[in-house]
Amino acid sequence: MLKYFDNPIIEIQSNTAEKAGVNILIKREDLNHPVVSGNKWWKLKYNLEVAEKEGQRTLLTFGGAYSNHIYASAGAAKELDLKSIGVIRGEKILPLNSTLGFAKDCGMKLHFVSREDYRKKSEEDFIENLKEKFGEFYLIPEGGSNVLAVKGCAEFAREKLSLIDFDYLCLPVGTGGTIAGIVAGLEGKKNVVGFSVLKNGHFLNEEIRKLLIEYSEKDYEKWSIQTDYHFGGYAKKTSKLDQFIMRMKQEHNLDLDPIYTGKMAAGVFDLITKKYFPKGSTILLLHTGGLRPT
C-alpha cells in the first residue's frame, strides 16, 4: 500500500478575490505523496489493490509523452516492486523528456505507438496483441480512469473534501475519472467545476456521465465543465499562462504545473473577474499534483 501524507488547506489572499467578494482556498493534495501525488494516489489506490489480489506483478497503462499518469504509475510500480509497461502515444523522441525519462528510470518499459494505433487502445484485438508481446498484465486505462479510480476519488471526497466548508470545488480535468468520483462522493451536494485541459473538451461531459452511472447508477446535477481554458490544448501553453503561473509563485509561493493545475487556477481567476461565482462564495481549488521534484 502506498503511504499517504496528510496535507494542508491554505487561503489565497488576492485583490481579485477581494474585489469580487469571494474567498479562495486550495487543498494541497499535491503533497500527499512525493511521486504518486494528487489525484493519482486516489485513482491508483484500488487498481493497485485489485492487481495485488489477482496476483498480477505487471501493470500496463497508456498515456502521452507528458502524462502525469505515466509518471505516477511508474513510480507506484517501483515502490511496490512491480513491473510496469507504458504504451505511449506518438513516436519516440530522443532524448526522452523528464516524464518519460523518470518512468524509464523507475523500470517502466516504454512502448511507443502511432497516434492512429493509439486510438485503438480499448479494442480487444489491440489488447490481445499487447499480451502476445508482453505476456499477462493488469491493465489500467489512460489517465487511470475506470470505475476503481472513481471509487478511490469518491472515497477522497467523502473522507477529506466533505469536511471542508466551501461552495464551489474547482479542479482540472483530463479523462474525467477524478471529477466523476468527487461528484459521486459529494452526492451532488456541492457545486463542482471542472476545467478541461484538452482542446474541444465538450466530449468530457458524456465521459463523466458514463463513469458516474457505471459507479453509482446515477447522474448528479451541480457539476459542469469549462472548456475555454485549455491554452492551446493538452501539454500546450501560452506566455499568458506562464506569466500567471509565475505570478502565483511570486505572490503566493504556490507552485502550479502548466498542464493541469495552472490552467485550472488561471480559469478560476478569470471567472472571478467575470463574476461567475456569487458574492460571498468560498471557492476551493484542488491541487491535483503534477509537479516534478527539482
Given this model, what pLDDT does residue 292 score? 75
Q: Domain span at residue 119? A: 57-136
**Domain endpoint, select from 136, 162, 188:** 136
Check whether residue 86 and residue 217 sit in a common domain.
no
| Claim to verify: residue 30 and residue 66 sit in the same structural domain | no
- Give the count of alpha carbons within 13 A of 280, CB side only: 0
**What's residue 1's pLDDT?**
81
Same domain, 218 and 159: yes
Q: Is 48 inside a domain boundary?
A: no
Same-domain check for residues 153 and 194: yes
Domain end marker among 106, 136, 166: 136
Q: What letters, b where the CB count within 10 A reaches 16 and e where it falls short, cover 8-44?
A: ebbebebeebeebebbbbbbbbbbbbebbbbbbbbbb
94 and 235 in a single domain? The answer is no
Shared-domain flag, residues 108 and 78: yes
Q: What is the mean pLDDT of each run of 10 residues along the chain (294 residues)?
A: 93 95 98 95 97 96 93 97 97 94 98 96 96 97 94 98 97 96 95 97 96 93 96 93 97 94 98 97 96 68
* pLDDT for 219: 87
Hey, is 101 helix, strand or coil?
helix
Residue 177, domain CATH = 3.40.50.1100
pLDDT for residue 293: 63
In a domain, 4, yes or no: no
Does some domain include residue 87?
Answer: yes
In contact, 166 and 283? CB cutoff 8 Å: yes
Q: Are residues 177 and 279 both part of a single domain?
A: yes
Name the domain count of the chain: 2
Residue 39 lies in a domain: no
**Residues 177 and 272 placed together within one structural domain of the fold:** yes
CA 171/CA 192 separation, integer angstroms: 8
The answer on 101 and 229 residing in a single domain is: no
Cell of 46: 484500488
Last residue of a domain, one of 136, 158, 180: 136
Say whether 204 sits in a helix, a strand or coil.
Answer: helix
In a domain, 247, yes or no: yes
